[in-house]
Structure 1
């Protein structure tokens, strides 16, 4: 892109040097012809689409003419500012932050395996065991992974009641399914 811009600039410089050697009458006639052609083209074309080197050259040359002439160009000052904003946006973009990295499948599989093979363990126990095995994972992550596969919290322990007067302990829930074998 830089090579193309340099080439375009060099061509324009040579064209200006050639133009300086011409007579004033020839220059005025050419200006009138070009203005008329431009008026005809403006009637036919709704929106020109210059590429990047054309935009850069137009932006530089527009600075050299008066304010009254700037308003009649195919490129308005607002368009020049928009081009500049786009160039700055392309130059100074940063990739969007993705947040925390995803949990590796190996650790996810371990958490699910611990939860399935030990149905009486809760989230805290699965978290503790995974930490003991050397994996850094938070309790909230363990809870989220187990809930995602349909494993809720560990079942409640069987309720135990103590009769204070008789000083006896009654185990009220011996089995979860009393009619089962």
Structure 2
């Protein structure tokens, strides 16, 4: 409609310019001729009402807006003067409606980042009520009206604290993951037919793997020394104070002295059920990953070769391999800042092979 109205206004403006050089006598003749033709058309129409397009109504309403009513009655129109005035009122009403819609009456909409923070606090703290979350925002220097805050939570279907404070198993396990270690033996065979036993431990929260050693004869003395080395490593990493449980199976390779060493450091051993590997699911899943990505793809010559391969894989897993439970980060390598569009255009990624191409690592070119 707007385009047709503009075309109509421009064409009529040029028609008005054409009238400027015409004298009064010629204009009077043209007016009389147009009135006579209008009378002929009205006789042909009879009782049928003429049809005006929206742009025709808008043009006539704008053209005749300042004309008094008695003058409109003298002008020979296809519609009554009241109809023209009604068109003008409708035109003004629509213009005011568009202006008020652009102004968006009422309070301004809450900033998107603030809305996201409100929802984040509500989801991360099920026991916090509306007033507790509102107070936390005030401590952070964010001023949000209580009514606005409540509307944000209600719009997302987040109930008050008593209706959402129940703890689910996933959230409970995540809250305990910082205090849990898991341990297991992995068995493999070298090319010379020698059976090798790999002892490894994984931290549930960080998913960091520690390969404690490999041997063909896992004696009690060897296992005890491996556990002592694990405790020293945890102390160097400032994790010994947070670890409280170590999950393992009931394998006879674990000596009784091992439990005493763990308990002296404040770690309680937790034994899995008989033939229930799912009780140590995190460790079992890593064992499958180790076999899929290394042991099943590499020919291990002897114990020394196995030790070198395991040390390389441990570095790769902890520093380069993305982990789904960590949102794509590696256990010992946080996610970098997102690249800008300019940096993405100049992207240059290089591949670094490990263990003869069994493992691939990708880095930005220096």
Tell me which interval the TM-score lies in, with the shorter structure as reference length: 0.5 to 0.7
Structure 1: segments with no counterpart, 5+ residues: 156-181
Structure 1 residues 3-34: Cα deviation after superposition (integer angstroms, max 9, x where no partner): 544433344563853265x7xxxx99x68963
More strand by share: 2
| Matching residue within 91, 94, 100 for 1:95 | 100
Q: Distance in 2 between matches of 1:41 and 1:3?
A: 30
Task: Give the direction of change, closer, same or farther, for the CA distance of 1:19–1:129 in structure 2 (3 Å limit).
Answer: closer
Q: Distance in 2 between matches of 1:135 and 1:40?
A: 74
| Matching residue within 21, 25, 29 for 1:17 | 25
CA drift of 1:123 comes to 1.6
Instruction: Kindly tell me the number of residue pairs found equivalent between the two proteins.
Output: 146
CA drift of 1:73 comes to 4.1
| Matching residue within 124, 127, 139 for 1:120 | 127
| Residue 139 of structure 2: aligned partner | 132
1:75 maps onto 2:111 in alignment: no
Task: Give the direction of change, closer, same or farther, for the CA distance of 1:54–1:129 in structure 2 (3 Å limit).
Answer: closer
Q: Kindly indicate whether the alpha-carbon contact (under 8 Å) linking 1:4 and 1:53 is maintained by their aligned counterparts in 2.
A: no
* 1:1-181 → structure 2 map (5 Å cutoff): 3-12=10-19, 14=22, 16-18=24-26, 34=37, 37-43=40-46, 46-49=49-52, 51=56, 52-53=58-59, 56=63, 73-89=77-93, 92=96, 94-96=99-101, 97-147=104-154, 148-154=156-162
Q: Distance in 2 between matches of 1:53 and 1:45?
A: 22
Structure 1 residues 92-101 or 78-87, which shifts more? Answer: 92-101
Q: Kindly indicate whether the alpha-carbon contact (under 8 Å) linking 1:114 and 1:126 is maintained by their aligned counterparts in 2.
A: yes
Q: Which has the higher contact order (CA 8 A, sep 6+)?
A: 1
Q: Distance in 1 between matches of 2:35 and 2:119?
A: 81
Task: Give the direction of change, closer, same or farther, for the CA distance of 1:53–1:63 in structure 2 (3 Å limit).
Answer: farther
- Root-mean-square deviation (CA, aligned residues, Å) is 4.2
Who wins on radius of gyration, i.e. which is larger?
Answer: 2
Q: Distance in 2 between matches of 1:35 and 1:82?
A: 22
Q: Distance in 2 between matches of 1:132 and 1:40?
A: 81
CA drift of 1:130 comes to 0.9
